[in-house]
Amino acid sequence: MKMPFHLNVPPEKESQPSPLRWLGRLTLAWGLSLLVSGGPAMAASTEHTVRNIVLVHGAFADGSSWSQVIERLTAIGYHVTAVQNPMTSLSDDVLATERVLRRQQGEVLLVGHSWAGAVITQAGNASNVKGLVYLSALVPDSGESAADLLQRLKAPMTGLTPDADGLIWLDDPSQFHKVMAADLPMQKAQLLASVQQPIAAACFSGKVEHAAWHDKPSWYLQTTEDHALSPSVQQSIVQQIGAKAVSVRSSHLSLASHPDAVAKLIDHAASELGR
């Protein structure tokens, strides 16, 4: 079994620097590299073998939830695509992801948040996917569903009831803020709640045929202030799949509250795959 390593992000790097500060860092790094080596500091566009990043959103979100991460990755040369999941079944979400994967020119790093961990675990079997990045994600094994995983880890879903159409919503802004984004301002959480997509309860019963993490390298971002998927459950998943793990003091929606940390992990994974 692969053994995970852990790289904790220190508290001072968990803040949310302004876009100007982010760009300032890039400019400084670029200038120092030119002075020292005569070449660019951020090598994503010229040296990384894997320059295509495909992002898959989780439940109660849509592709726009990745916007801050996309900004950061494209700024350093990556080609980034966000999948819009129908979230009507595991197979439907896998198909939507596979369609995007087929449009990529070259190798891909596939990233999934939350529910999308199950999606990329199946879709990641595509031949052009070279690695997987999980963000506080559900990661079933082969022949296992997300519901099976939660039951096995003694972490059943509670407090989420499907409507008459079998869809689960989290459209109460205060509840959304508490469960998904407690470290974001309430106004930002309300915006995210407004564009959310519901998830069909049937998604959680769809079984992964073959878990791609058995064959491909994986990374996992653990969110230690998570009220949707407990840190202890995330730790169990990391140990199960042997992922390289990063811990961030974040709510469940780290891609919105800590986009720097998320982009840094994705860039690191792509760099490792490109060696």
What pairing do the DSSP bridges indicate for beta strands 52-56 and 79-83? Answer: parallel
Return d(Cα 241, Cα 215) in angstroms, integer. 10
What pLDDT was estimated at residue 159? 66
Question: What predicted TM-score, i.e. pTM, was given to this entire model?
Answer: 0.83
What pLDDT was estimated at residue 171? 84
What pLDDT was estimated at residue 239? 97
Mean pLDDT per block of 10 residues along the chain (275 residues) reads 40 42 38 32 52 97 96 97 97 98 97 98 98 98 97 81 93 91 94 92 97 98 96 97 97 97 97 89
**128, 106 in Cβ contact below 8 A?**
yes
Torsion of CA 257, 263, 266, 270, to 10 degrees: 180
What pLDDT was estimated at residue 274? 83
Q: Which two tokens stand for residue 33?
A: 């590299």
Residue entry with tokens 């200038």: 31
Number of C-beta neighbours around residue 268 at 10 A: 15
Return d(Cα 238, Cα 134) in angstroms, integer. 10
Q: Which two tokens stand for residue 185?
A: 């301002």
Q: Quick one: which of 90, 101, 154, 151 has its CA closest to 125?
A: 101
CATH superfamily of 47-273: Alpha/Beta hydrolase fold, catalytic domain (3.40.50.1820)
Q: Quick one: which of 274, 269, 273 has its CA closest to 73?
A: 269
Domain locations along the chain: 47-273
